[in-house]
Structure 1
Amino acid sequence: MQLIGMMDSPFVRRVAVSMAVLDMPFEHRSVSVFRHFDQFRHINPTVKAPTFIDDDGTQLIDSTLILDYLDQRVAPQARLLPQDVPARRRALHLIGFALAACEKTVQLVYEQTLRPQEKQHAPWLERVQTQLTSAYDTLEGDVTKLGSGPWLCGDRLMQPDITVAVAWRFTQHILPGAVDPGRYPALAALSARAEALPAFLGAPLE
């Protein structure tokens, strides 16, 4: 199995961490959608990261679809999404807001670093920043309410923990100061616990 993409993408990194937790060996190919566009296009014509290539050559794209497939390859008790319907709904709620935070962080980075300053639209940037803050406000409240156990779904690390922790670290790394960690102690604590685990250390944010 191969995972194509840079670890500075939260979408690539959540797949890499998940595969480590699931004990699935894979080859990671650090190909950038920007610096190595032509090389990536030869692998996947849509130049979308992450791209996952299974052992038979089948390509999957979109981190959520890749993780859904990988979850089905392991025993139910090892899966990273709960099987119980109410627990699964809660997990998907957390993952959805974490992915929204990732998307809004990426939008801000693109607007502020790729678009010339004279072409940046201040009301649009303010709107995206508000969306980003709202996503983390929601997650902070949820994580605080679920704070009785070591992880968000119980006693073991699961996909909500991975995705929330990856999202938080990504925003803090690539947009320092955009989201004040002092305002989100529960998220900061969850991230610190997760980032200390071997699965996270083995997929460092590049």
Structure 2
Amino acid sequence: MKLFYAKASPFVRKVLVAAHELGLADRIELLPAAAHPINRDATIRAENPLGQVPTLILDDGTALADSRVICEYLDHLGQGGLFPAAGPARWAALTAQSTGDGLLDAALLCVYETRVRQEGERSAGWVTGQREKIGDALARIDAAAGEFGERVDIATITYGCALGYLDLRLPDLGWRKRAPAAAAWYARFGERPSMQATRPD
């Protein structure tokens, strides 16, 4: 398998953490890619019309796009259990994944607004709105963090990658003060070998 990736992408990290947890990391060849919202990478676009990372190319040439799809595929391939079976636990895990992904979407939009758009094109109101989404998602994660324990599933992997991305790109947010329970959990989860192996810095 081959994975179009960018080291700083939290969605790529999510896929790689899942691969490490499932014992599949050594079966994935990493293909550096220059995904960008404006200067789109033609190499990725040939496989994924959205031109986004992560994009996974299977051995038969099939392309899988989006971290949610790729993580579920890897879980199936590795017979893992990162995704609970059908029922309430599954819906809860998928909803948590969606919350974490939404936090990441908002964080990426903040980054794009300040790093990609020209100064005269930027909107302070837009950034404020995205940061409010991040704050609301953090509150939801913090409220649940006391129950995470040693869980390793798609919910906790997504949350861990989301919090790590805030450290990387939005350190001024000071998320630990706003979400102390999540911070205490992340201090442990971030030490997992899968998280250490995929650190973007």
Give the total of aligned pairs: 197
For the Cα contact (< 8 Å) 1:82–1:91, is it kept in 2? yes
For 2:173 and 2:78, locate their aligned partners in 1 and report how far apart those are by CA, in whole Å. 38
Task: Tell me whether 49-58 or 187-196 shows the greater mean CA deviation.
Answer: 187-196
Q: 2:176 aligns with which of 162, 181, 185?
A: 181
Counterparts of 1:46-195 in structure 2 under 5 Å? 46-75=50-79, 78-83=80-85, 85-144=87-146, 146-147=147-148, 149-151=149-151, 157-195=152-190
For the Cα contact (< 8 Å) 2:40–2:51, is it kept in 1? no
For 1:85 and 1:41, locate their aligned partners in 2 and report how far apart those are by CA, in whole Å. 36
Gapped runs of 5+ residues in structure 2? none
Residue identity in the other structure for 1:8: A
Verify: 1:202 aligned to 2:188, yes or no: no
For 1:194 and 1:30, locate their aligned partners in 2 and report how far apart those are by CA, in whole Å. 27
**CA gap 1:202/1:86 in 2 versus in 1, 3 angstroms:** same
* Partner in structure 2 of residue 2 of structure 1: 2
Pairwise CA RMSD of aligned residues?
1.9
Gapped runs of 5+ residues in structure 1? 152-156
Residue identity in the other structure for 1:9: S
For 1:41 and 1:85, locate their aligned partners in 2 and report how far apart those are by CA, in whole Å. 36
Residue identity in the other structure for 2:103: A
For the residue of structure 2 that corresponds to 1:3, the secondary structure is strand
For 2:54 and 2:89, locate their aligned partners in 1 and report how far apart those are by CA, in whole Å. 27
Verify: 1:23 aligned to 2:17, yes or no: no
For 1:5 and 1:36, locate their aligned partners in 2 and report how far apart those are by CA, in whole Å. 14
For 1:179 and 1:116, locate their aligned partners in 2 and report how far apart those are by CA, in whole Å. 26
Task: Tell me whether 43-52 or 18-27 shows the greater mean CA deviation.
Answer: 43-52
**CA gap 1:7/1:194 in 2 versus in 1, 3 angstroms:** farther
For the Cα contact (< 8 Å) 2:56–2:64, is it kept in 1? yes
Q: CA deviation at 1:84?
A: 5.2
**CA gap 1:170/1:44 in 2 versus in 1, 3 angstroms:** same
For 2:115 and 2:184, locate their aligned partners in 1 and report how far apart those are by CA, in whole Å. 29
